[in-house]
Structure 1
Amino acid sequence: MVKNQQGFTLIEMMIVLLVISVLLIITIPNVTKNNSTINSKGCEAFVRMVEGQVQAYRMDNNGAVPSFAELQGAGYLKEGEASCPNGKAISIDAVNGTVTVAGS
């Protein structure tokens, strides 16, 4: 007596591996291509957040323009938050409190 054994054939397994490979080939380049866009958008958002913290500090301290050290010491920013996610440094203008990204 021969039992009816069910399972995947080699051809079916090869087709599944082919489909998975095609999906990986399509998605990986798109993710790596958009990495710089993601970092630049993150930098823009971080600059806006620092601008908001500068304004909050100025309201709380009678218009005084803070430095990064003062913002961190007063709890407006976490320690070490002085650069964008893409590594570019951020500076605060000492005269008017404008936040800018180095190299922009």
Structure 2
Amino acid sequence: MKNEKGFTLIEMMIVMLIISVLLMITIPNVAKHNSNINSKGCEAYVKMVQAQVQSYQMEKNKIPTLAELKSEGYLKDIKGCPNGQEIEIDSVGTVTAIAKAE
């Protein structure tokens, strides 16, 4: 028999076991932080829309709607927050995130 070099089945199974344990530890931690990431993204989106509302107010001297912001080119797309909340502009120009009405 030739002296063949390579991994044995046991060595490969040990490596797979180690990788599986690392994945079992990592995936729940990432999933746990998903809601926190989405809420931070929503806060950032609200601040960005608020800045565009203020810019529109300075140029046009009126409070815009979301449709006006999009049609005038202030916002490319109105998709809402990453956590599923929608954006609303009140009568004084304050932007807030509200839960979707189902």
Asked if 2 retains the 8 angstrom alpha-carbon contact of 1:58 and 1:66, the reply is yes
Contact 1:89-1:102 within 8 A present in 2 as well: yes
Indicate how the Cα distance of structure 1 residues 13 and 82 shifts in structure 2: closer, same or farther if over 3 A, else same: closer
**Aligned counterparts of 1:60 and 1:43: Cα–Cα separation in 2:** 26
Return the match for 1:88 from 85, 88, 93: 85
Is 1:98 matched with 2:97? no
Structure 1 residue ranges without an equivalent (≥5)? none
TM-score norm. by structure 2 comes to: 0.90
In the TM superposition, structure 1's runs of 4+ consecutive aligned residues that sit over 6 Å from their partners are none
| Counterpart in the other structure of 2:66 | 68
* Count of residue pairs brought into register by the alignment: 99
Return the offset for 1:78: 2.0
Q: Distance in 2 between matches of 1:89 and 1:34?
A: 21
Give the unaligned 5+ runs of structure 2.
none
CA contact (8 A) 1:68 1:82 kept: no
- Separation in 2, partners of 1:60, 1:82: 24
Q: Distance in 2 between matches of 1:5 and 1:73?
A: 69
Work out the CA distance in 1 between the residues paired with 2:12 and 2:75.
53
Q: What's the TM-score once normalised by structure 1's chain length?
A: 0.89
**1:30-87 Cα deviation digits (max 9, x unpaired):** 111111111101100000000010011011112x1111011011010124x1521111
Give 3-state SS (helix, strand or coil) of 1:91's partner: strand
SS across alignment from 1:54: helix
Secondary structure of 2:6 counterpart = coil
